[in-house]
Amino acid sequence: MPGFSTRAIHAASRIPVAPQPPLNVPIYQSATFEVGSAEELAELLEFRRPGHSYSRYSNPTHAALESALAELEGGEAAIVTASGMAAIHAALASMLSPGDEVLAPLALYGGTYAILTGLLARFGVTARFVALTDLDSVRSAIGDRTRLIWAETIANPTTEVPDLAALSTIAGAHDISLVVDNTFATPYLANPLTLGADLVVHSLTKYIGGHSDLVAGAVIGSAQRVAAARRVVIDAGGNAQPLEAFLALRGLKTLAIRMESHAATALAVALALEGRPGIRRVLYPGLESHPQRDVARRELRDGLGGGMLAIDLDGGRAAGERFLSRLRIAVHATSLGSAETLCSHPASSSHRQLSEAELGAAGLTPGLVRVSIGLEDAADLIDDLGAAAG
């Protein structure tokens, strides 16, 4: 009989066969998988055979989430990553070479700005920042080295809504790619691939996770483009963890009802705060006053505005900091898309990488506060945010 340790290891590694399928995808918390031969392992590592060999390459829980995301976004394939930033890096690094140029919006997530102006700039990629809502400016900015347009379905944090279908037409006419960060809208509100985008990225940490308890990202698109992004993720070690994939799968099940609630409450809050003393403007795609309201009606499901809004306060940075200190229900915290309403001051948090001049060009005034509307009762949030602004 084998020794105790031998028997213990093998007994604890037996995988039970369930006669009834589980309701939830199991968490395959395993770094490696048994193979039958060296040939099989080589084929698995090169993705010439279905299956899994090592979780830096693939994992069954990852695969379940990737299949779900591809289906919901209308893509052929997807890869899940360790964070939204890893997804952004994989998408850009897989599509760009030294000497290439990216067109990106003036109002842009600070992490994406940092990759474009820092990491990729060190390897010879340049970025040009333009107002993507001004299509003539986009056309004028495209040069011989332009290879990619980067857009956000709903801009972080100014809530601008670019015309993705028009941007896709412009990109196609110049044989360049369009990549869209769909984090704010989620696959429930918008599907940029159906509007002509080549790749979509997500921070799954946000609305898809929905509970501020995971960190993960995703890249979705054609099988060929996702395969290129997967190679970057494998080589850079940006793979997601199985538990994160499991939690994101859980979040997908309730995404629709959560986004409906986020959007309904956000509209109620925006309408209640718009025009109040001390508030210069409320930026929310569901408001008739929003500059791209017509685009939002076309591109977002049922014209819903999503769960993100920005409140531009009189009094500059001091007013923004005072607003955050007065919150009693909403939480002063980074991130977004949670059950709790989260508020932040972009100029000192998510967009701290930008200079004062760059903040101004992006429409990020010192008194602007970003609000991620949660699932609390609308009346309570109206009272809380109104008192904080007032």
Got the DSSP string for 153-207?
SS-TTT-----HHHHHHHHHHTT-EEEEE-TTTHHHH--GGGGT-SEEEEETTTT
**Cα(57)–Cα(47) distance, integer angstroms:** 9
Mean pLDDT over each residue of the chain, to the nearest integer = 95
- Catalytic residue, chosen from 109, 188, 207, 284, is 109
Closest listed residue to residue 57, CA positions, set 262, 321, 239:
239
User: What DSSP element (H or E) covers 62?
Assistant: helix 60-73
Q: Which residue has the higher pLDDT, 234 or 355?
A: 234
Q: Which CATH architecture has domain 255-389?
A: Alpha-Beta Complex (3.90)
Mean pLDDT of 122-149: 97
Lowest mean pLDDT among 113-127, 192-206, 324-338, 345-359: 345-359
129 falls in which pLDDT band (50, 70, 90)?
A: very high
Mean pLDDT of 277-289: 96
Domain ranges of the chain: 58-253, 255-389
Strand order in the sheet with 279-283: 279-283, 308-313, 368-372, 342-344, 331-332
366 falls in which pLDDT band (50, 70, 90)?
A: confident
Sort strands 368-372 and 331-332 into parallel, antiparallel or unpaired. unpaired
Q: What is the predicted pLDDT for the residue at 18?
A: 77
Q: What is the predicted pLDDT for the residue at 292?
A: 98
- Catalytic residue, chosen from 49, 56, 281, 297, is 56
Q: What is the predicted pLDDT for the residue at 182?
A: 98
Cα Rg of the chain (Å, integer): 22
Q: Each residue of 254-263: pLDDT tens digit?
A: 999 999 999 9
Q: What is the predicted pLDDT for the residue at 187?
A: 97
Lowest mean pLDDT among 2-6, 95-99, 164-168: 2-6
- Coil, strand or helix at 104: strand
**Cα(158)–Cα(172) distance, integer angstroms:** 27
Q: What is the predicted pLDDT for the residue at 354?
A: 66
Mean pLDDT of 73-100: 98
The answer on pLDDT for 353 being more than 70 is no
69 falls in which pLDDT band (50, 70, 90)?
A: very high
Mean pLDDT of 36-51: 96
- Catalytic residue, chosen from 100, 147, 163, 181, is 181
Residues 216/249, Cβ–Cβ less than 8 Å = no
- Residue 375 is encoded by which pair of tokens? 């699932």
Tell me if residue 109 is catalytic.
yes
Closest listed residue to residue 167, CA positions, set 358, 303, 74, 295:
295
Same fold, 58-253 and 255-389: no
The answer on pLDDT for 351 being more than 90 is no
Q: What is the predicted pLDDT for the residue at 38?
A: 97
**Cα(243)–Cα(28) distance, integer angstroms:** 8
Q: What is the predicted pLDDT for the residue at 358?
A: 74
Q: Which of 21-25, 231-235, 318-322 has the highest mean pLDDT?
A: 231-235
Query: Which residue has tokens 């591109």?
Result: 299
Q: Which CATH architecture has domain 58-253?
A: 3-Layer(aba) Sandwich (3.40)
Q: Each residue of 195-247: pLDDT tens digit?
A: 999 999 999 999 999 999 999 999 999 999 999 999 999 999 999 999 999 99
Q: What is the predicted pLDDT for the residue at 21?
A: 87
Q: What is the predicted pLDDT for the residue at 361?
A: 73
Mean pLDDT of 37-59: 96
Q: What is the predicted pLDDT for the residue at 350?
A: 67
How many Cα atoms are found within 13 Å in the side-chain-facing hemisphere of 233?
Answer: 31
Q: What is the predicted pLDDT for the residue at 362?
A: 73
Task: Report the share of the chain in percent with pLDDT over 70.
Answer: 98
- Catalytic residue, chosen from 147, 206, 230, 258, is 206
DSSP string, 323-370: HHHH-SSSEE-S---SSS-EEE-GGGTTTTTS-HHHHHHTT--TTEEE
Long-range CB contacts (within 8 A, 24+) of 2-8: none
Tell me if residue 253 is catalytic.
no
